[in-house]
Amino acid sequence: MRRMTARPGNAHQARLLKLLRDGGPNSRAQLGDQVDLSRSKLAVEVDRLLQTRLVVADGLAASRGGRRSHNIRLNPELRFLGVDIGATSIDVAVTNAELETLGHLNQPMDVREGPVAVFEQVLAMAAKLRSSGLAEGFDGAGIGVPGPVRFPEGVPVAPPIMPGWDGFPVREALSQELGCPVMVDNDVNLMAMGEQHAGVARTVADFLCVKIGTGIGCGIVVGGEVYRGTTGSAGDIGHIQAVPDGRPCACGNRGCLEAHFSGAALARDAMEAAQQGLSAELASRLETGGDLSAVDVAAAAAAGDPTALELIREGGDRTGQVIAGLVSFFNPGLVVIGGGVTGLGHTLLAAIRTQVYRQSLPLATGNLPIVLGELGPAAGVIGAARLISDHLFSPA
């Protein structure tokens, strides 16, 4: 089902749409206070927006001592689809035009099964959300994939952990299937956009968003805009050398950060520790579950297991050293830590903070918050919705 959604005709309209998205319903007068246009010009642009499907006027607001104002708001029937494809699971959410999550599904899925299988799954999840009455159709969709993307075309390029996806026309294919505009980006960039839109980074122009999951990546925001680099691989910090002559990494080098600390590395280290009898706690979990994951390490740490705590602390140290270098280089106003491994919580954060504050210069760290993401697994899908909404709310 294709829905024809208009795009704003000029920069003023785009500005107004974004104000309505981020600030909710507004009167014409309130909008006028924010856009520095005369009331007459504003009225013209609002009227044009009302003629599209994008914006509606419904009802009157309570009086504030004078004539009651009309409520101008984004069409409450608009629906965006946010999709976050991780290495081991898929998140799909439906939002309204104000990017409020109306429904959210999560299913395990190995991204290595390839784009066809994955998108079958994604479409099934989208259909489920739709049939539960949350949406009749979608006006746009944002997709995050765990690897570099040639952004203008929406095509993954040379993704290390999802080889079958190289060159697959994600944007085009999904646009066909869903019958709506689609934008594709790296999952880490979407997490950054999510935290920027609705999380801890709302007021910061330049920040880093480090996502530690199966792999490690970093979203870079410069002047409020995601920076993607020359070939779309900016933020790919998992293969920065953290330990000289360290562990061998899948990329062929030794000592990569990702080889020493990530969901996969942590599970491996925990297995080793359990098998060597270093931790009764981990060993017992190994018996019950058959396999250990980062979640088991988190649980063991929460139970006070010293081996698990040491694993986390060491990983945090490595990560912190790398981040310290990035902080010196980039001088961000905020560092956000997110991804699956955030379950490790304060132990991890403390280790990272210690390294950064110790190694980077005072001018760069003096006023630098290092915090966990606020949105957890929702950051990706909110970021995805934000991506497509930014696109649709820009002049055609």
- Mark the segment that binds DNA (CB under 7 A) among 39-47, 182-190, 261-269, 367-375: 39-47
Task: Spell out the alpha helix ranges (H) of the chain.
Answer: 11-23, 28-35, 39-51, 115-129, 170-178, 187-198, 257-260, 263-275, 280-289, 294-302, 306-330, 345-359, 362-365, 378-392
Q: Is 6 in the site for DNA (CB under 7 A)?
A: no
Residue 228 CB, nearest distance to a second copy (Å)?
A: 8
CB 156 within 8 A of CB 133: no
Q: Is 321 in the site for a second copy (CB under 8 A)?
A: yes
Q: Is 287 in the site for DNA (CB under 7 A)?
A: no
Tokens of 249: 């990494």
* 3-class secondary structure, 261: coil
Touching a second copy, residues 97-156 (CB under 8 A): 148
Residue 378 CB, nearest distance to a second copy (Å)?
A: 26
Selected from 5, 30, 106, 241, the binder of a second copy by CB under 8 A is: 241
214 binds, among DNA, a second copy, none (CB under 5 to 8 A by kind): none
What is the dihedral sign for C-alpha 40, 44, 47, 49? Answer: negative
Q: Is 37 in the site for DNA (CB under 7 A)?
A: yes
The contact mask relative to a second copy for 38-67 (x = CB under 8 A, - = no) is ------------------------------
Q: Is 39 in the site for DNA (CB under 7 A)?
A: yes
The contact mask relative to a second copy for 83-102 (x = CB under 8 A, - = no) is --------------------
User: Would you say 181 or 332 has its CB closer to a second copy?
Assistant: 332
Selected from 222, 284, 346, 395, the binder of a second copy by CB under 8 A is: 222
Contact partners, residue 214, CB within 8 Å, separation at least 6: 86, 87, 88, 146, 161, 262, 263, 264, 340
Task: Spell out the alpha helix ranges (H) of 139-228.
Answer: 170-178, 187-198
Distance separating alpha carbons of residues 180 and 9, to the nearest angstrom: 19
150 binds, among a second copy, DNA, none (CB under 5 to 8 A by kind): none
Q: Given the structure tokens 């599970």, which residue do they identify?
A: 267
Compute the radius of gyration of the chain from its Cα atoms: 23
Residue 37 CB, nearest distance to DNA (Å)?
A: 4
CB 254 within 8 A of CB 245: yes
102 binds, among DNA, a second copy, none (CB under 5 to 8 A by kind): none
Selected from 6, 19, 29, 105, the binder of DNA by CB under 7 A is: 29
Considering only the C-alpha atoms of the chain, give the largest distance between any 2 of them, rounded to a whole number of Å.
76
Residue 83 pairs with which residues in a beta bridge? 92, 143
Q: Is residue 33 exposed (0-12), middle (13-18) or buried (19+ Cβ within 10 Å)? A: exposed
Binding site for a second copy (CB under 8 A): 148, 157-158, 160, 205-206, 218, 220, 222, 227-237, 239-241, 244, 251, 253, 321-322, 324-326, 328-333, 358-364, 366-368
Binding site for DNA (CB under 7 A): 10, 12, 27-30, 36-41, 43, 60, 63-70
